Amino acid sequence: MRFWGDWLSLKGALVTLLLSNRVNAITLDISDEQSIKDAASTSAYAMMTYYKGNETGHIPGAFASKWWEGAALFLALLQYWHFTGDTTYNDELRVGLEWQAGDGDYMPSNYSSYLGNDDQMFWGLAAITAAEVKFTDSSTGYSWLALAQGVFNTQIERWDTTTCSGGMRWQIWWWESGYTMKNSIANGGLFQLAARLYRYTGDELYGNWARKIWDWSVTTPLLSNSTWNVADSTAMEDGCTSQGNTQWSYNYGTYLMGAAYMYNYTNGTEQTTWETAVSGLLTKTFTHFAPDSNGGILEEVVCEPSEACNDNEILFKGLVSSWLSFTALIVPSLYDTILPKLQTSAAAAALSCTGHNNNTCGVRWYKSEYDGWIGMEEEISATNIFVANLIAFSNAAPVTSTTGGNSTSDATAGQNDTSTVKTTTKVTSGDRAGAGILTVLFVAGWVGIMGWTVFGG
């Protein structure tokens, strides 16, 4: 009987140990500022374990096969520092943002031959964010504002009027798959960047471009200003009449963020117009990507239920979380609508961080438990949603050049970069066929030389 009693005691101890491991989640009290900061610190540390840019033999700011994700990482770090005050990663952040700057426009020679307009744009958004949160300009290299201006300057040169009466192509170079596509993230991203430069500098050049991109977008299937549907893409081959209507959260988020900045900086009738746009896009975003049916928790609806999200797609709702937090600060009337969704999503995300006994975070927050996924992207999105909730304790809205911003302006930044391209000529069917063949040859050669595969952002 003693043996049996010892076995029961041992069994009880093992069960206790297993249960204690199962509940090893990130502890989050959504009403407590320090608890949120601690949660963000845990996930930020986890995401930085994937970053090797500060190690010998590695390139600061770069991930070989997914260059744009460096921008996503640094966007999370900028807002992490801004809302928590933790300077742990600021050196890596500063060095990486400068290292990838190229000739002042985020077209670095190591990557410029295959990156897309959206890839470059995300680095521009990181730069303007640095200026808006008063991340001190580097003592050497480019200012954050100038880098954002450099991206803007090179991108507007690619505004393509050969078909569809305007718009940004998805890809920069004719040999890239997707070159004859105009999509929401490229156009909405440039719209957002222009709107943020407009608010920061007060220069009407940026405001006029923001209006131009918005007005063009609503004439295409990409953006409806009646239903507020945001499609993913449209094809140049049929004059931008087709609609690739796959629903991604970041397409909504980038137009929403730009409209919020335009609302904040304009007045009168124009402000009312932008207020309507922000309200419409926000309502549609929450209805589609944070429905009551899953508890109001943010979800990438196309890929999460089927467990089919790729690394890019895992980042989308994290980016949207950040944009929603800034929207709440610069459109105060929507604060009480936005914050509860952020809080519900953060609480669920924390419960997903129970993996591998080290708080590894999952993808499907709505499950409120770890789902087996692991990666840098999961940790970036978790950090984003935790940090977004710190707006409940800080009204530190993004600054402008007249409200505390001191990043140095350079209105001509990027204009002397010979690695970029200007508006292209009309592409024929023969050009497209040739581009497809050369894309295969180019990629095959690149893989053979460099030893790793390149994927688009």
pLDDT digits (tens, 9 = 90+) for 129-172: 999 999 999 998 999 999 999 999 999 999 999 999 999 999 99
pLDDT for 420 equals 67
Q: 419: pLDDT confidence band, cut at 50, 70 and 90?
A: low
Among candidates 316, 322, 297, 296, which has minimal Cα distance to 384? 322
CB 76 within 8 A of CB 380: yes
Query: What does the pLDDT look like over 327-381, one tens digit per residue?
Result: 999 999 999 999 999 999 999 999 999 988 888 999 999 999 999 999 999 999 9
The architecture CATH gives domain 33-450 = Alpha/alpha barrel (1.50)
Q: Give the list of residues 6+ apart from residue 59 with CB closer than 8 angstroms, or none.
A: 53, 99, 110
- Confidence label for 422 from pLDDT (cuts 50, 70 and 90): low
Q: Per-residue pLDDT for 241 more than 50?
A: yes
Helices (H), 221-334: 249-265, 268-289, 311-330
Q: Do the beta carbons of residue 191 and residue 213 sit within 8 Å?
A: yes
Residue 65: band (very low, low, confident or very high) from pLDDT cuts 50, 70, 90: confident
Break the chain into its structural domains and give their ranges.
Answer: 33-450
Check residues 367 and 18 and name the one with the higher pLDDT: 367
Q: Which of 7-16, 95-104, 393-402 has the lowest mean pLDDT?
A: 7-16
Give me the mean pLDDT over the 48-73 stretch: 93
Tokens of 33: 């500022």
End-to-end CA distance of the chain: 65
Task: Tell me the average pLDDT of the chain.
Answer: 89
- The alpha carbon of 411 is separated from its chain's Cα centroid by a whole number of angstroms, namely 25
89 vs 450, residue with greater confidence: 89
Q: Is the pLDDT of residue 448 over 70?
A: no
| 436: confidence class by pLDDT, cuts 50, 70, 90 | very low
Tens of pLDDT, residue by residue over 118-131, are 999 999 999 999 99
Angle between helices 204-218 and 144-156 (to 10 degrees): 50
Arithmetic mean of pLDDT, 221-242: 98
**What is the structure's pLDDT at 421?**
67
Model confidence at 306: pLDDT above 90: yes
Question: Which residues lie closer than 8 Å to 87 by C-beta, 6 or more apart?
Answer: 81
- Which long-range contacts (C-beta less than 8 Å, at least 24 apart) are formed by 24-27? 24/354, 24/357, 24/359, 25/350, 25/351, 25/352, 25/353, 25/354, 25/359, 26/350, 26/353, 26/359, 26/361, 27/350
Give me 43's structure tokens. Answer: 């996930």
pLDDT for residue 399: 98
Q: Is the pLDDT of residue 453 over 80?
A: no
pLDDT for the residue numbered 454? 35
Q: 339 to each of 36, 42, 132, 386, 396, how far by Cα in Å?
A: 14, 22, 21, 12, 15
Q: How confident is the model at residue 4 (pLDDT cuts 50, 70, 90)?
A: very low
Q: What number is the average pLDDT over the span 283-304?
A: 96
Count of positions (residues) in the chain: 457
Structure tokens at 388: 């977004």
pLDDT-derived band at 9, boundaries 50, 70, 90: very low
